Chain A
Amino acid sequence: MSQINVTVNGEAVSAEVEPRLSLADFLRDHRRLTGTHLGCEHGVCGACTVLMNGVPVRSCITLAVVADGAEITSIEGFDEDEPMTQLRKAFHENHALQCGYCTPGMLVAARDIVTRLPDADEARVRLELAGNLCRCTGYVGIVNAILQVLRERRA
């Protein structure tokens, strides 16, 4: 067992974890933050994307011990975050989710796009979003939602 000290959604957390424990399982099983969803468990679908020190990571292939000393933000930790608030509204208005399983990871990836690439056009948004799989929407609503937020933030 290894001792880790992590800030999870602004709260300092110390825990004893097995070295093989993934960050996703740490969040879901140890912290009961079940908004982080496991889609593929091998870093391909993006459903489990969270922020580690402000950068998106796949929590399924990130070990919890790697997060020692880091700040983790999962979907439950964005309530005061302006771009996330804009994105949630835009996802709602653009029918950007159906079953909602990929949505937390999509939102974290989308937040990265709108904050890092303020001038992105549709083709760039589609390319940047290609790390996240959605099986329900055909991506139409998701892309429109992100483009809407990009426009709002440029205005």
Chain B
Amino acid sequence: MGKFGIGQGVLREEDPRLLKGRGIFVNDVSLPNQAHALILRSPHAHAEIRSIDTSAASALPGVLAIYTGEDVAADGLGVPGMPVKWVRPDGAPMKYRPQPPLAVGRVRYVGDPIAMVVAETLEAAKDAAEAIEIDYGPLPSVTDTAHTVDPDAPVIWEDGPDNVSALYQAGDAAAADAAIAKAAHVTKRRFTISRVFAQYMEARGAVGAYDEREDRFTLHADVQYPHRVRQLLAEKIFRIPEQAIRVVARDVGGGFGTKGWQYPEHRLVLWAARKIGRPVKWSCERSEAVQADEHGRDNVTDAELAFDADGRIVGLRVKTLANIGAYLSAIRNLLAAYTNVGTLIGVYDIPAAHVAVRTVHSNTNPTAPYRGAGRPEATYVIERLLDDAARELGIDPAELRRRNMIPPEKLPVKNALGLVYDCGAFADNQAEALRMADYAGFEARREEARARGRLRGIGTSNPIERSASPSPDFAEIRFSTDGTATVLMGTKSQGQGHETVYKQIVGERLGLDSNQIRVVDGDTDRVAFGIGTMGSRSTVIGGSALHFAAGKIVEKAKTIAAHMLEASPVDIAFEDGKFSVAGTDRAVTLTEVAKASFVPARLPKGVEPGLFESATFAPEDDTYPNGSHVCELEIDPETGEVEIVGYWVVDDVGVVVNPSIVKGQIHGGIAQGVGQVLMEQVAYDSESGQLLSGSFMDYAMPRAADFPDIKIASNEVPTKRNPLGVKGAGEAGTVGALPAVMNAILNALAPVGVTDVAMPATPNRIWKAIRDAAA
């Protein structure tokens, strides 16, 4: 398809308005007569709430209402619920521990919401919040994951004294034990994946309204899953029909998995709006965001990788403690801990494997998916083990990887943890990435750097991600009487460029130009159904649904076109937006057919007027985007500072719909991975449980000066698991970057005797590691 189809680097449709500051983000939404809400949060990591006195605060000017957990309980708001029944290591059932939207009796982390002040202005609400008197009885706290299971660790839930929530296992324990017992070499390590936070540039917000005449709520919020938010609020929280709630998400200033569907503020603004009879707006402030939002990652893993005498992997055994935070409100809090552990196998031929994940509670925010959601953690473990094993075995790490890769002829294959990889050219990815990075010439560059007093290192990783898991999503194409089309999608863009990609798919299938198509997402009143955007699924599942909806449009339009052209439908061909009679120059455009479809006199007998079609697609299995990353960097041994000097990626995301958008996803993903390895961390004081990284001053993130240019090449191996052949691209960059960057750091530090550096590898930590190794 000409200039606007699949595979073209089409410039983004979203850009013109965003470049003029004409986006509509949630904080830009203001409703007539709205009141402002402020959430008062716990300053303690763990405390009993002995009493709350709101009387002085309530009397302040401009205050409309102050609500506490007792008010929420009195109105009987429901909880999200837990669809899975897991068990603990001792066989007892996992306890469901939902977070109350406002705390009752006890707070369990710094930021746990306690009271909601609703006032005429935000300033009045802030003044009132300061006048609320709360008598706390502070309790000991634990925030550090490894210490949650210490025998004397503070207890988060009195009926769960070991802080363990549940045990999740995959693979064959006996086979893994046997393989490791008789192995020629076992590389054994403990890896700690730090706690980070998405830090989308737009902090969250919610504007709730209640229409008494219609008995209906409207929620404006920056969410990735408008329909799931509606479903949760209707079915679980308010127990009302879904039609009684509308959820609207317009421009979303980044989400990265963390703008989830269960945030308490969504229900609070609606509930308060109904109580006071006015719209209620809540805007999270930056210093509030780290306290208010779900965090990502945070686990401690003990892993063993076993080899035979030829350096071939015979077994993998992994035991993980995954910190899910203080509460277990919904399955979101478990997703990162278990859904992607299968990719611990990586792209390697590992005959036996077993993984056991214990989910643990702590005095921290709940954790939930953040870009990769378990994939970066899993890939980090296998790719770090391979580099460490290579050092121990005296084999080049890239060669050790090559020797153990799953060859293309073995695909599809079910890996030892149960995932069925369908396709990929793993060895080709690595070979090309190494060629781009001039891996062969690295030792000369290391020598040259050494002469300048700098430690140079190179690191690789071969990530594979489980993406676009089998759940449905929806697309609808509606033609108007003027022949233009509106495309309604169940997925929700947070900056990925969906509007552009979906127009390209429609352009490819229907031959329409961009200006004949309008894409709508993020409105449960307009879009019939959706699951939303996460897990690199939108182009795969939403795009495929759109592909099928377009197919239905062509089928119906062909019948009408045949009638218009006085030919038989079997003689009609459709190409480039035109229906033509085979072997003649008689043709009508889809636009003309769409216009005619509304005029009964122009339709064949029995054909219903109008041209509207929808489709829902659910793939039968996951897709597996994969690739190869190479990172080269230099370390100044005098300061411990890391400078990334080169970064190369070969990526297989299947068919590439828009090359520049895919590259943008990879670039941004790498930046977040580099950020986690080098600087980002949600830090707590281990004694007091106080949050130490509550602002952008304390939570370091990568800036432009922290990167070189990033070189990306594509190695497309289309999947057959969806009609477009696409695999998903949203998380690939982050998944590969975590291990590639840390492997490069340890490669640089190996000559000075450093074998491990904790994440984030800050200059201070690297400097200390160098000094400690020399001592």
Contacts and interface: CB of A to CB of B under 8 A. Distances in A.
A41 B11 contact: no
Contact of B661 (A95, A127, A139): A95
A41 B22 contact: no
Contacts of A102: 201
B286 A101 contact: no
A117 interface: no
A139 B200 CA distance: 15
A137 B667 contact: yes
Given A33-B21, A34-B25, A99-B253, 17 more contacts: A37-B25, A44-B695, A47-B201, A74-B21, A92-B16, A99-B252, A99-B254, A99-B495, A100-B251, A100-B253, A101-B23, A122-B709, A130-B703, A136-B668, A137-B668, A140-B663, A140-B709
Most chain A Cβ neighbours within 10 Å, of B253, B660, B667: B253
A42 B671 contact: no
B222 to A, nearest CB: 10
Interface in A69-110: 74-76, 79, 88, 91-93, 95, 97-104, 107
A134 interface: yes
Which 5 pairs, one residue from A and one from B, show the smallest C-beta to C-beta distance?
A: A35-B21, A99-B495, A100-B18, A101-B253, A138-B667
B704 A135 contact: no
A36 interface: yes
A32 B87 CA distance: 53
Interface in B646-680: 660-661, 663-664, 667-672
B21 A138 contact: no
Contacts of B495: 97-101, 136
A105 to B, nearest CB: 9
Interface string B187-223: 0000000000011111100000000000000000000
B19 A88 contact: yes
Contacts of A131: 703
Contacts of B201: 37, 39, 45, 47, 99, 101-102, 133-136
Given A41-B286, A98-B497, A138 B253 contact: no
Interface in A7-21: 18, 20
B665 to A, nearest CB: 8
A44 B18 contact: no
A104 B15 CA distance: 12
B668 A40 contact: no
B705 A127 contact: yes
Contacts of B709: 122, 140, 143
A142 B11 CA distance: 15
Contact of B199 (A74, A75, A130, A135): A135
B698 to A, nearest CB: 10
Given A38-B27, A133-B696, A98 B496 contact: yes
Nearest to B25: A101
B636 interface: no
A64 interface: no
A103 B25 contact: no
A37 B664 CA distance: 22
B452 interface: no
Contacts of B28: 28, 34
A142 B671 CA distance: 13
Contacts of A139: 667, 671, 703-704, 707
Contacts of A74: 21
A107 B496 contact: no
A131 B701 CA distance: 11
Contacts of A79: 20
B287 interface: yes
Interface centre among B663, B703, B707 (most CB of A within 10 A): B703
Interface of B: 11-12, 14-16, 18-25, 27-28, 123, 198-203, 251-254, 256, 285-287, 494-497, 660-661, 663-664, 667-672, 695-697, 701-707, 709-710, 733
Interface of A: 18, 20, 28, 33-42, 44-45, 47, 74-76, 79, 88, 91-93, 95, 97-104, 107, 122, 125-127, 129-143
A102 B22 CA distance: 13
B695 A40 contact: yes
A104 B695 CA distance: 21
Contacts of B668: 98, 135-138
Interface centre among A33, A133, A137, A138 (most CB of B within 10 A): A138
A126 to B, nearest CB: 4
Nearest to A88: B19
Contact of B11 (A39, A40, A76, A93): A93
B19 A97 contact: yes
A74 to B, nearest CB: 7
B710 A138 contact: yes
A35 B28 CA distance: 9
Nearest to B251: A100
B551 to A, nearest CB: 30
Query: Which of B15, B22, B28, B494 has most A Cβ within 10 Å?
Result: B15
Contacts of B16: 92
A93 B496 CA distance: 16
Contacts of B696: 39-40, 42, 44-45, 133
Contacts of B703: 129-133, 139
A44 B11 CA distance: 30
A64 B733 CA distance: 41
B99 to A, nearest CB: 26
A103 B695 contact: no
Contacts of B497: 98
Contacts of B24: 34
A37 B661 contact: no
B21 A92 contact: no
18 contacts: A18-B123, A34-B24, A39-B202, A42-B286, A47-B201, A92-B12, A97-B495, A98-B497, A99-B253, A99-B254, A101-B253, A103-B21, A129-B703, A130-B705, A133-B201, A135-B668, A136-B668, A140-B667
A122 B661 CA distance: 22
Contact of A99 (B20, B202, B669, B672): B202
A93 B24 CA distance: 22
A40 B695 CA distance: 8
B519 to A, nearest CB: 16
A120 to B, nearest CB: 12
A141 B11 contact: no
Contacts of B22: 35
A141 B496 CA distance: 14
A34 B22 CA distance: 8
Nearest to A36: B21
A28 B161 CA distance: 50
Nearest to A99: B495
Residue among A97, A99, A131, A136 with max Cβ neighbours from chain B (10 Å): A99
Contacts of B695: 40, 42, 44
B704 A143 contact: yes
A40 B701 CA distance: 13
Contacts of A47: 201
A15 B431 CA distance: 65
B287 A99 contact: no
B130 to A, nearest CB: 14
Contact of A126 (B18, B199, B669, B707): B707
Contacts of A104: 21
B660 A95 contact: yes
A53 to B, nearest CB: 20
Contacts of A40: 286, 695-696
A56 to B, nearest CB: 15
Nearest to B701: A133
B35 to A, nearest CB: 15
A140 B708 CA distance: 8
Given A74-B21, A99-B495, A103-B19, A138 B200 contact: no
Contacts of A76: 20-21
Contacts of B661: 95
Nearest to B672: A135
Nearest to B667: A138
B12 A95 contact: yes
A33 B28 CA distance: 9
